């Protein structure tokens, strides 16, 4: 049985047409589910009883379960248990400008980045669309507030789950769905070049973030297995094509690893690589984990790296640290639960 939270409005329209009903019923269903947050189908007063019965017969309303919440002053981390007893996690971050949510797109991850806790436990499966949508719905209910922006950079490689992620974006962006503005949705990828090209063709105006983390192939090969398949030259070419096609600035994510990729030489090499591109670099203080040998670059080193990039004409910011006291590293809460 298909889960109703995994259906785009167009898919629901097709469903109603298939049962010889008017397609505007899909709009009414979306309003009950996402505007009124009402799952008590018997109270859907503008939908006939026989149609409600068909919806009940054909669709599940089941959601993943929140099984643990860790909190600090500006962050909440959620552990979800899925129907098949797998675990995923999501993180809420409170900013001056609103509340953002980082969602997972897979159970585990096969990218195997050397510094990343998510990839230490391999990919089990892709998340279904509804399992992504329900992360947002249940967290909005728990915090009793509206999520204003979404980043798809939790556990998993979003572009390795392309169709479900595109449907997720469709539902949360739909004005009768969760109505999150398309430019308030960010997708982060480790660099699956063919999928970046496929995303480009969609031309959906989301924010694209590229996990680069190294300025040359030798270093990136050591940190990120994906680079052995799609090297930096291929990735930069794909980014340039994406920018030219969509006219959107791309974020370059660069996690700061002590003594690995944080030297002045790395900064100069990175600036040379990105010169003239419509990008900005987001320097990310590393969240340390017991299972990884990597350490976080100190503040002075990060500041010097940032200044070197600025002097070379690169737009750059240093990401504010969130959740350092609550299993902050992506995948850390899940791995604790799995290894129990």
Split at pLDDT 50, 70, 90, the class of 333 is: low
Cα 111 from Cα 105, distance rounded (Å): 13
Annotation says 330 is catalytic: yes
Element (H, E) at 192: none
Cα 158 from Cα 139, distance rounded (Å): 20
Q: Which residues contact 13 (CB under 8 A, 6 or more apart)?
A: 23, 26
What confidence tens digit (pLDDT) does each residue in 248-302 have? 999 999 999 999 999 999 999 999 999 999 999 999 999 888 778 899 999 999 9
Radius of gyration, CA atoms only, the chain: 21
Q: Characterise 242 by phi-psi region: left (phi > 0), alpha (psi -120 to 50), beta (else).
A: alpha
CATH 3.20.20.70 for the 65-339 domain, yes or no: yes
Residue 30, pLDDT above cutoff 80: yes
Domain borders along the chain are 2-60, 65-339
Q: Dihedral, CA atoms, 259, 331, 160, 231, nearest 10 degrees?
A: 10
Angle at 100 between CA 274 and CA 135, to 5 degrees: 115
Catalytic residue chosen out of the listed positions 113, 134, 306, 330: 330
What confidence tens digit (pLDDT) does each residue in 111-157 have? 989 998 876 678 999 999 999 999 999 999 999 999 999 999 999 99
What confidence tens digit (pLDDT) does each residue in 33-73 have? 999 999 999 999 999 999 999 999 999 999 999 999 999 88
Alpha-carbon distance values, 85 to 14, 90, 107 (Å): 32, 16, 11
Q: Looking at domain 2-60, which CATH architecture does it have?
A: Orthogonal Bundle (1.10)
pLDDT score recorded for residue 212: 98
Q: Which residues contact 125 (CB under 8 A, 6 or more apart)?
A: 86, 106, 107
Catalytic residue chosen out of the listed positions 70, 89, 131, 288: 89
């Amino acid at each position: 049985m298909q889960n109703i939270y995994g259906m785009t409005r167009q898919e629901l329209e097709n469903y109603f047409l298939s049962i010889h009903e008017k397609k505007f019923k899909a709009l009414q269903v979306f309003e009950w589910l996402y505007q009124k947050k009402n799952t008590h189908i018997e109270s859907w007063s503008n939908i006939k009883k026989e149609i409600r019965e068909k919806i009940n017969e054909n669709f599940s309303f089941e959601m993943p379960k929140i099984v643990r919440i860790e909190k600090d002053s500006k962050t909440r981390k959620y552990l979800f248990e899925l129907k098949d007893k797998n675990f995923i996690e999501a993180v809420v971050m409170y900013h001056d400008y609103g509340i953002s949510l980082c969602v997972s797109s897979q159970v585990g991850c096969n990218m195997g980045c050397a510094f990343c806790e998510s990839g230490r436990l391999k990919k089990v499966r892709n998340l279904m669309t509804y399992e992504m949508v329900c992360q947002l719905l249940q967290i909005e209910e728990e915090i009793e507030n509206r999520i204003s922006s979404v980043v798809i950079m939790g556990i998993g490689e979003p572009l390795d789950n392309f169709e479900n992620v595109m449907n997720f974006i469709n539902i949360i962006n739909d004005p009768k769905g969760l109505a999150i503005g398309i430019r308030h949705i960010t997708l982060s990828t480790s660099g699956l070049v063919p999928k970046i090209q496929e995303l480009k063709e969609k031309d959906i105006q989301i924010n694209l973030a590229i996990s680069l983390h190294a300025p040359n192939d030798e270093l990136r090969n050591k940190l990120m297995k994906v680079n052995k398949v799609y090297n930096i030259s291929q990735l930069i070419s794909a980014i340039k094509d994406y920018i030219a096609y969509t006219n959107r600035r791309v974020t370059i994510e660069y996690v700061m690893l002590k003594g690995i990729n944080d030297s002045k030489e790395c900064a100069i090499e990175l600036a040379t690589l990105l010169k003239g591109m419509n990008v900005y670099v987001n320097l990310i203080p590393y969240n340390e984990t017991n299972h990884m040998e990597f350490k976080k670059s100190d503040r002075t080193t990060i500041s010097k790296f940032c200044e070197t990039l600025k002097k070379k004409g690169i737009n750059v910011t240093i990401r504010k640290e969130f959740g350092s006291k609550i299993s902050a590293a992506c995948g850390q809460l899940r791995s604790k639960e799995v290894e129990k």
